[in-house]
Structure 1
């Protein structure tokens, strides 16, 4: 993919959401709609691109990540617990509660693997190295998969399912692991993308993988989505008119629209004025289709 191709792409503002902390976009092929969360406003949204309509459910807690479930339900990561949101009634049923230490630790980004297991990381920004990555299986069992993290973030799988990616935002690194789909185990961690030496004060946030295996990551305080090859080569960036993009996700009929959530939290008045559309939802016509969304229990 030529760098010039990415430089020519533009991000279209498709929803004036003004979210405090938009995150976790998740495409539903059945409904042809995008679920996403506004973490600090405790809302799970559904956006319908065909009409431009957006509605939300108040889940009563910081909801940071989602997964599709059978029936009209969503798996939701809420603070220190996993729950299922009944979309017809708006009620949330707790499935599993975690005893996080130290205080202030909460869930962050999460995603289902191709086998239907839900991977979810925690964040503990005030206590570096105290966050972790967990795997929640359809049988209700919970497995700790990685420790020593600070803000467990963007995660995904290569098209052939042999590689698992995980971001630790304050370290400014995206890790690659060998992934065993049959057992759900990860091993042999390496650094796939290293931004720790970059002059910019940016952090990799959420990520998405396309069908060529390229890694698309939102750069918090970088005002863009960056694309890297499977070998870690920088392929370029797509600029957004806001400083804090949070997470990309492929969607649309052919999975060739890259939706990007953004945040307004923590910005000064001057920064908000300069990035007036902070917290809105954007869409980019991607040159390569993305991988489909995996359902919990699939």
Structure 2
């Protein structure tokens, strides 16, 4: 695979595109534009994209039924009704540091929503687990930009990115209890200075990570060894998700935020949505479950 394989599928011009989630049931892609407060629904078959303005920073989404999404706003979690656009708050968080907001999140196979935070103060971000019973558990502290997360195909390993530390960590994961332990550094990109952002795991257990300021998406095996990189036409790819009929298409969000006017002119597609046909197969995303569904 090379740069020519990457297809620009939507001229979105997002400020901060993030959190792509493939809807297997309806063959469409959900994604967000964080600072424009938009939750998008993209139909690859028609190239049609529509969005909901949710009125707040929105950083992560997950399906929570056929016509509902669980969304992470700046300091709260809520449901978004895809039929009416109605937003129903369900949980508000009092972060210990004022310059903090929610960031990336995903559901595990038991319907629990794992959501991290981002903080301007180093080491003050946290990883949370929002359970189907409505409780919020603190799972990890001492982070700065809690980012891309996922699970190995056999669910024995949990992965978590701290972009500010240029690292992707691996943990032992216990499915039934939803606990993590034995954190170790799996991937360290400190020497390059690029920041690993959102990630996806394929069915072989490889990690696909969008490298912020790296102009690429990198693929690593489960030992943390780099397999290859795919060059992107934008400096700031942000996150990835497998989609398409056979889950072989890698959708890639990107950002234009923070770029100078000159840089934007040079990479006019910054903030667009891209797709990379691959020889790998992804895994379906999990939904959030709760008693009111």
Q: TM-score interval w.r.t. the shorter chain?
A: over 0.9
Q: Give per-residue Cα distances to partners, 1:237-276, cap 9 Å, x unaligned.
A: 1111110000000011110000000000000111111211
* 3-state SS of 1:135 partner: strand
Pick aligned residue for 2:226 from 222, 234, 241: 234
Pick aligned residue for 2:125 from 124, 127, 131: 131
State whether residues 21 and 40 of structure 1, in contact with CA within 8 Å, keep that contact through their aligned partners in structure 2.
yes
The answer to whether structure 1 residue 250 and structure 2 residue 242 are counterparts is yes
* 3-state SS of 1:273 partner: helix
State whether residues 7 and 236 of structure 1, in contact with CA within 8 Å, keep that contact through their aligned partners in structure 2.
no
Pick aligned residue for 2:252 from 260, 264, 274: 260
* 3-state SS of 1:174 partner: strand
State whether residues 44 and 56 of structure 1, in contact with CA within 8 Å, keep that contact through their aligned partners in structure 2.
yes
Tell me the TM-score normalised to structure 2 length.
0.97
Tell me the TM-score normalised to structure 1 length.
0.96
* 3-state SS of 1:231 partner: coil
Q: CA RMSD in A?
A: 1.0
User: 1:91 Cα shift?
Assistant: 1.1
Counterpart of 2:115?
A: 120
Counterpart of 1:185?
A: 179
User: 1:82 Cα shift?
Assistant: 0.3
Pick aligned residue for 2:10 from 12, 15, 18: 15
State whether residues 245 and 261 of structure 1, in contact with CA within 8 Å, keep that contact through their aligned partners in structure 2.
yes
Alignment length (residue pairs): 290
Q: In 2, Cα distance between the equivalents of 1:195 and 1:181?
A: 29
The answer to whether structure 1 residue 106 and structure 2 residue 101 are counterparts is yes
State whether residues 9 and 285 of structure 1, in contact with CA within 8 Å, keep that contact through their aligned partners in structure 2.
no
Pick aligned residue for 1:150 from 135, 144, 147: 144
Q: Give per-residue Cα distances to partners, 1:168-203, cap 9 Å, x unaligned.
A: 0010000000000000000000111111122xx310
Instruction: Within 5 Å, give how 1:275-290 maps onto structure 2.
Output: 275-290=267-282
Q: In 1, Cα distance between the equivalents of 2:227 and 2:139?
A: 30
Q: Give per-residue Cα distances to partners, 1:137-177, cap 9 Å, x unaligned.
A: 11111100000000000000000000000000010000000
The answer to whether structure 1 residue 296 and structure 2 residue 291 are counterparts is no
Q: Give per-residue Cα distances to partners, 1:49-83, cap 9 Å, x unaligned.
A: 00000000000000100010124100000000000
Unaligned runs of 5+ in 1: 1-5
* 3-state SS of 1:145 partner: strand
State whether residues 3 and 233 of structure 2, in contact with CA within 8 Å, keep that contact through their aligned partners in structure 1.
no
Q: In 2, Cα distance between the equivalents of 1:9 and 1:98?
A: 44
Q: Which moved more, 1:77-86 or 1:98-107?
A: 98-107
Q: Give per-residue Cα distances to partners, 1:88-135, cap 9 Å, x unaligned.
A: 1101111000001211200000000111110000000x2000000000
Q: In 2, Cα distance between the equivalents of 1:291 and 1:191?
A: 24
Pick aligned residue for 2:197 from 198, 201, 205: 205
User: 1:9 Cα shift?
Assistant: 6.4
State whether residues 3 and 232 of structure 2, in contact with CA within 8 Å, keep that contact through their aligned partners in structure 1.
no
* 3-state SS of 1:61 partner: coil
Instruction: Within 5 Å, give how 1:75-114 maps onto structure 2.
Output: 75-114=70-109
